[in-house]
A and B are shown apart, each in its own frame.
Chain A
Amino acid sequence: MENWFEQLLLICLPAAPAIGAIAAGSCPERATRLVRVIGWAFSIVALLAWIALRAVLPDAAGGDLLVSVYLPWVSDLGIGLHLGLDGTGLVMAGMISFITLVAMIGTLPSLPELNRGHVVCLLAAEAGMLGVVTSWDLILFIAFWEVTLVPFFFLMGRGPTRGGVAAATRFFVTSVASSVLMWIGVLMLVQAAGTPITFDLRELAARFADSPLGSFSGAWLFIPAFLVRMAAVPLHTWFPAAAASVPTAAAVLLAGGVLPLGGFGLVHVLLRLFGRDLCGLSTWLYWIGLATALGGALASVVQRDLKRLLAYVFLAQMGLALTGLTLGTQEARNGGLLLLVATGMGGGCLFLFSGVVCSARGNQRIVEISGLWRSHPAFAGLAFAGIASAGAVPGTVGFAGAYLVLRNLSGNFVHLSLAAGAVLIMGASVLWAYRRVTGGSFHPEMWATFRWPRKRQVTILAILCVVIVLAGLAPGVISGVGR
C-alpha cells in the first residue's frame, strides 16, 4: 500500500461525482443554491483529484498502468473492480473532468425548475464517463458504459422542446442496440482467452500478447458500440439531430465527452486486445474514418443551422481521429488521440458559445445571427480558439492532431488528398459560419434583453481557450504520455 495516496485519488475520480449526484439528489427541490454549490464543489473535487494525480504520477512510456486499484467482485467469473489509469486514460480523465466542470459552470438548466435534475444528471454523467476511462475490467467497463446512458437521456430529453426527447431516444436506442452486441463480443472474447476465466483487461492483454487472436470472429461485435459513440458514418445520424435540439449542457457533454470516449474505447479495449490490425478490421475502420471525415466536412458546408454545422464539423474531426487511430503507426495514433482531445475541448467551447448565443437570439439559423463582434467582442473572440482548433489552424490542438495524421498518410497521395480536403473543407465551413455570426451589424432589438453571456460563462470559456492553445503549442504534453 505504498501508493495509497494515488489510489485514493484514482477512486475519487468516479466516486466524487457519484457521491455528489446522490447528495444533490437528496436535497429538497427548492434548495437551488445548495444544489448548485454541491454540483460545483464535487466537479471541482474531481478535477482537483485529476490535477493531483497528474502531478504525482510519472510520465509513462508505453501503455502500461500508472496506478491501479483491484478488488474482487464476482470471483467465480473472474470479474473484479479494477480501476486504473494509463497515459491515455490520464489525458482522457483530465479532459472529461474539465469539460464537465465547463458544462456545470457555463450552462444553466434549460428550465429554472429543472435545476436539481440538471446538476444530478451532469454529475452522474461525469461519474459514468470517468468510470469508463478508469475501468480495467471489461464488465466494469460495460457497466459504466451503459450506466452513462441514463443521465444523458434525461440531460438531453428534459429541454423545453420535444425535439430533445426524439434525439435522446434515437441516441439511447442506437447506443443500447450496439452495446448489447458488445456484451456478446466480450463474452466470446473471454471464452477465447481460455481458463482460468477472467475479464481483467490487463490479464487478457497479456494472454493475447502471448498467443494473438488472429482472426477472431467476435471482433466485429465490438465495433458498432464505439462507432455509435464516435458518431461515425453510417451510425452518425443521432449526433447532428441531438446537437441541434438538446439543451446546451447536453450538447457540450456530447461533444466533449461522448464522442472522444468512443475513440478512447477503441484504443482502450480494441487496440489493446486485438493488436494493431484489429483482427483484420482496421482497414474497414480506416475507410469508415475517411468517409466520416469527408462526408461530415461536405455535409457541414450545406448546413444553415449553426449547431448542426458545428456537429458535422466535429463529426468529421472524429472521422479523421478514427483514421489516425487505425492507421497503424505510433505517430498517427498520437495524432488520433490529439484529435479526440481537440474534439472534446473545441466541441465544449463551441457548443457552449453557440448555446449561449442561440438562446439569446432565439434562433439557430446562421443567417439570422450577426454582429457579435461589435456587441460582445470578448466572448466572440474567445470562441475563435474553438473555431481555430476545429479548422486546424496552426497553434491549436486540432492542428497538432490533424498534422500528425496527415503526415502519416503522405505515402498514399489519394488518401492524403481526401483527408486533407476534409480538413480544408471543415476549416472553410467553420470560418464561414464564424464570419457570418460575428461580422455584420448588431440589431439589439432582435436579441434577448437578459444579460448574456454571464460573467462565469466568459471566464470558463477563457480558461478553455487557454487549454486549447496550450495543448496545441505543446502537444507533447498529451502525445508524450499517450503512447
Chain B
Amino acid sequence: MMAAGSASGYLVVGTLWLLGLTVALLEVRIPLARRTAFYLGLASAAVATTLAGFMWPGDSQLVLAGGGLRVDGFALFIQVFVLLGVVGSLLLGLHEPERAEAGTTGLVLMAAAGACLLAMTSDLMGMLVSFVGTMIPLWAIAAIHPARNGREAALKGMVVGSLAAALTGLGAALILARTGTTRLAGIAAYLQSADWIGSDPLLVAGLALVLAGLGCFVAAVPFHMWFVDVVEGLPVPAGLLLSGGVMAAALAAVTRVLLVGFQPVVLSGFGYLSWTAILHALGLAALLICNALALVQRRLKRMLAYLAAGQAGLVLVTLAAIGDLAATGQQTVVSRAIGGVLVFLAVHALNWVGLFVAVEVIAGGVKLDPKISRLSGLAHRHPWMAVAIGLAVLCMAGMPLTAGFFSRLYLLSAMVEAGWTATAAVAALSLGLVLVMSLGLVATMVMQPVKPDDLRISPALVLVAALSSVTILALGILPGGILDVAIRSAASLLGMV
C-alpha cells in the first residue's frame, strides 16, 4: 500500500508534467493539430484525476521527499477537484481550438501539475517552488496570447509574483535561521517547545514576510490587482484555471501552512505572532473591496476575477476563525470547519468552470475580455445554455439548491462557532451583495432584448455546461456525502500536528 501510494503520488504530478512538457514541445516543434493537443491533455488530466481519486481514502498518509511532500487525504481531496477543474478548462479549450496559441495546452498542464504539487507540499521552500512552478506557465500563456493586454498581464504577473516569491523566500530563510528547518511539522514542533517566541524578532519578521508573500499569491487586497489583470489577459481556459483550480490549490496550501506550521502561535500570550488578526483584516478587506469592485465591472472576465479574489478573502477570514477555534482545542469542531473549507474550495473549482462557460459563449469573435452586456437575451436564443449559466451564477452567490449554498453556510458556521459573529454578519452581507449581482446577471440574460447573435455553441461547450450544472445541482441537493469525505480529509491534516 505504501509503495503503491507513494508511486501514484508521484505519478499524479509526474504524468501531468511529462505530458505537459511533451505536448508543449510537440506543439511548438511539430505543428500538432490543436484538437489533438487538447485530447492528449484531456486524457492525461483524466488519468491523473482517476489516480488521485483512487488513492483516497487518505486515512493513511504518505510522506515523500523527506517530509517535504505529504500525500494525505487533504492533498488528494484538493487534487481531485483541481484536476476536475483542469478537465473542464481543457474541454472549454476544445470549443474554438483555433483561437489558442501553439503550446497553450502543454502550459496549462504544467500549471495544473504545479497546483497538484501545491496541495501536497508541506515545506515552506517547497511551497515557494510550487507556487512559482504554477505561475510561470500561466505567465507564459499570457505572454503568447495575442490579445491586446496579454503581454501587459504577463509582465505585471511576473513582477508581482517575483516580489511575492522574494518575500516568501526571505521569510522562510528567517524562520529557518531560528527553527533550523523549513518543514511545517518541524516548525510546529519548535514553536510548541519554545516559550518566548512572541517577541522573537526573527520569527515575527519571518512569519510576517511569509504571510505577505502568500497573501500576494492568493490575491489578497492590496495585492489583488495583478490577479485581475492576469485573468483578463489570459485566454479563457487558462483564465479559468488560474481563478478556479489554482486559486483553490493556493488557498489549500495557505491552509496547510498556517494550520499545521503556525497553529501553535495562535494561543494568547504569543504577542505579535498571532497571525489570525492579520489574516482576519486581510480577508475582510479582500471580501469587501473585491466584491464591491466586481459589482461595477462591465467586462465579464474581470468581474469573475474580482469575485474569485473575494472568495479567497472569505476563505482567509474563515481560516483566521479556524485558527482561533483550534486554539480552544475542540478537535471535532475544527476538523468540521476545515472540512467546510475543503468543500468550499472544491465547489469553487467546479463552479468557476460553469462561470467561464459564460465567458466562452460570449467571447466568440472578440479579442478582448467580452462585455457583460453581450449576455443579454441569451435565455431566448439558447435557453438551456442560459439555464446552465444561471445555475453557475446563482451557485456563486450561494443560492439554495445549488452547491454554493452549503459551502458558504459551512464557512459562516465556522466563523460563528469561533465567536466571530460580527465578522460573520459582515461576510454574509457581502454575500448578499454577490447575490444581488448574480441576479443582475441572470436578469440580463432573461429580461434584456436579444442581441444580434454571433454566438456559437459547440458540443464541447454544451458538454462542459451540462457537467457543471449536474455537479452544481447534485452537490446542492445531496450535500451530505462530500462534507463527510471532506471532514475525514481534514482530519488527516490535523493528525500531523
A-side residues, CB < 8 A to B, are 72-77, 117, 139, 142-144, 146-147, 150, 153-154, 157-158, 165, 169, 172-173, 176-177, 179-181, 183-184, 187-188, 191, 217-218, 221
Q: How many A-B residue pairs have CB under 8 A?
A: 87
Chain B residues within 8 Å of chain A by Cβ, number: 33
Task: Name the residue on A nearest B408 (C-beta).
Answer: A183
Distance to closest chain A CB from B472 (angstroms): 14
Distance to closest chain A CB from B440 (angstroms): 9
A154 CA / B443 CA spacing, docked (Å):
8
* Residues B436 and A187 in contact, CB atoms below 8 Å apart: no
A177 CA / B431 CA spacing, docked (Å):
9
* Residues A218 and B421 in contact, CB atoms below 8 Å apart: yes
Distance to closest chain A CB from B411 (angstroms): 11
Task: Name the residue on B nearest A131 (C-beta).
Answer: B400
Distance to closest chain A CB from B156 (angstroms): 34
Residues of B near A188 (CB, < 8 A) are: 416, 421
A180-B432, A187-B413, A191-B417 known; A221 and B425 CB under 8 Å?
A: yes
Distance to closest chain A CB from B10 (angstroms): 33
B-side residues, CB < 8 A to A, are 336, 339, 394, 399-401, 405-406, 409-410, 412-413, 416-417, 421, 424-425, 428-429, 431-432, 435-436, 439, 442-443, 446-447, 479-480, 483-484, 487
A76-B487, A147-B400, A153-B439 known; A184 and B480 CB under 8 Å?
A: no
Distance to closest chain A CB from B421 (angstroms): 6
Residues of B near A218 (CB, < 8 A) are: 421
Residues of A near B446 (CB, < 8 A) are: 117, 154, 158
Q: Given A154-B447, A180-B435, 6 other A-B contacts at CB below 8 A?
A: A74-B479, A147-B401, A150-B439, A173-B436, A180-B432, A181-B425
Task: Name the residue on A nearest B416 (C-beta).
Answer: A187
Residues of B near A172 (CB, < 8 A) are: 436, 439
* Residues A143 and B405 in contact, CB atoms below 8 Å apart: yes
Residues of B near A181 (CB, < 8 A) are: 425, 428-429
* Residues B424 and A184 in contact, CB atoms below 8 Å apart: yes
Distance to closest chain A CB from B67 (angstroms): 31
Give which listed residue, A74, A143, A183, contacts B401 with CB less than 8 A: A143
The CB with the most chain B CB atoms within 10 A, among A144, A146, A181, A183, is that of A183
Give which listed residue, B400, B428, B447, contacts A180 with CB less than 8 A: B428
* Residues A153 and B443 in contact, CB atoms below 8 Å apart: yes
* Residues A165 and B447 in contact, CB atoms below 8 Å apart: yes
What are 21 A-to-B residue pairs whose CB atoms are below 8 Å?
A74-B483, A75-B484, A76-B484, A77-B410, A143-B400, A143-B401, A143-B405, A146-B400, A147-B399, A147-B401, A150-B394, A154-B447, A158-B447, A173-B432, A173-B436, A176-B432, A177-B429, A183-B428, A187-B417, A187-B424, A188-B416
A147-B401, A184-B421, A187-B424 known; A76 and B483 CB under 8 Å?
A: yes
Task: Name the residue on B nearest A180 (C-beta).
Answer: B428
Residues of A near B439 (CB, < 8 A) are: 150, 153, 172
Distance to closest chain B CB from A371 (angstroms): 37
Residues of A near B400 (CB, < 8 A) are: 142-144, 146-147
Task: Name the residue on B nearest A221 (C-beta).
Answer: B425
Distance to closest chain A CB from B475 (angstroms): 11
The CB with the most chain B CB atoms within 10 A, among A139, A144, A165, is that of A139
Distance to closest chain A CB from B169 (angstroms): 39
The CB with the most chain B CB atoms within 10 A, among A72, A144, A158, A188, is that of A188
A139 CA / B408 CA spacing, docked (Å):
12
